[in-house]
């Protein structure tokens, strides 16, 4: 993986003669006549961050048999994350660190040349980066009542999974571990990421907890438990 690299003098001269920047084509249509061909960086549709260092493979497509060098910035709501450099390779690695944060990551400010020094175009692409989350459930039974305790956690930089306070968590029940599941209640977890609710229910039911995604965190569903 390369974070920065100086072009060889000869290549730099050809690049300057060819162009000073590449305009994004914006679609998969044929490249404009002034460009030799079109490339794009292909990201996973979504990236879930679970550790402080996340490596994301990015594959370049287009300009097969013609490409010599190309590069592009990857930006997110905070600014520039990294410059991807494709110099004789088709796969680069985007590194995501705690200070980068969640959000939409996209390519921009790209340029490059073919083997015969002609400029190339770019299709802009993007991916969504979100932090991981986790849901848990436990249940106890006394008489005809079942007490269900749920837990919610979220990823935090340098800490891993921590309590996800004030999260609204749903509780579902089913006659088997595979469903069919039905909603039986909602609770809001406290500062330690836990909450409890008591139900009158038939014995030997399965329970699980869940919550939806937000702009920064993914959704989560717990493993079922039986009581």
Sketch the domain layout of the chain as residue ranges: 9-130, 133-226
- pLDDT for 33 equals 56
At the top level of CATH, the class of 9-130 is: mainly beta
Lowest model confidence (mean pLDDT) among 17-21, 69-73, 174-178? 17-21
* Helix, strand, or coil (residue 212): coil
pLDDT over 90 for what percent of the chain?
84
Q: Look at residue 116 and tell me whether its pLDDT is greater than 50.
A: yes
- CATH for 133-226 is 2.60.40.10
Residue 6's pLDDT band, with cuts at 50, 70 and 90, is very low
What average pLDDT score do residues 104-120 get? 96
Asked if the domains at 9-130 and 133-226 fall in one CATH topology, the answer is yes
Residue 39 near residue 62, CB atoms below 8 Å: yes
pLDDT over 70 for what percent of the chain?
85
- pLDDT for 20 equals 37
Q: Give all strands (DSSP E) within 8-132, no chain letters.
A: 38-42, 46-49, 54-62, 67-76, 79-87, 91-96, 103-114, 121-123, 126-131
Q: Which one, of 145, 147, 126, lies nearest residue 195 by Cα?
A: 147
């Amino acid at each position: 993986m390369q974070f920065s690299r100086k072009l060889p003098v000869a290549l730099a001269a050809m690049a300057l003669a060819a162009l000073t920047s590449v305009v994004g084509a914006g679609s998969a249509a044929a490249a404009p006549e002034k460009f030799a061909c079109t490339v794009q960086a292909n990201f996973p549709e979504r990236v879930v961050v679970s550790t402080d260092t996340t490596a994301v493979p990015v594959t370049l497509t287009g300009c097969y048999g013609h490409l010599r060098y190309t590069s592009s910035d990857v930006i997110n709501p905070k600014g520039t994350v990294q410059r991807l450099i494709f110099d004789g390779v088709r796969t680069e690695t985007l590194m995501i660190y705690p200070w980068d944060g969640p959000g939409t990551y996209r390519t921009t400010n790209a340029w490059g040349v073919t083997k015969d020094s002609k400029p190339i175009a770019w299709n802009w692409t993007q991916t969504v980066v979100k932090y991981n989350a986790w849901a848990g459930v436990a249940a106890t039974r006394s008489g005809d009542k079942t007490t269900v305790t749920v837990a919610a956690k979220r990823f935090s930089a340098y800490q891993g999974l921590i309590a996800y306070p004030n999260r609204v968590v749903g509780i579902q029940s089913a006659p088997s571990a595979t469903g069919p599941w039905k909603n039986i209640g909602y609770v809001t977890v406290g500062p330690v990421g836990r909450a409890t609710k008591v139900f009158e229910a038939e014995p030997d039911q399965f329970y699980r907890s869940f919550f939806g995604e937000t702009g920064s965190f993914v959704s989560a569903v717990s493993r079922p438990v039986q009581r």
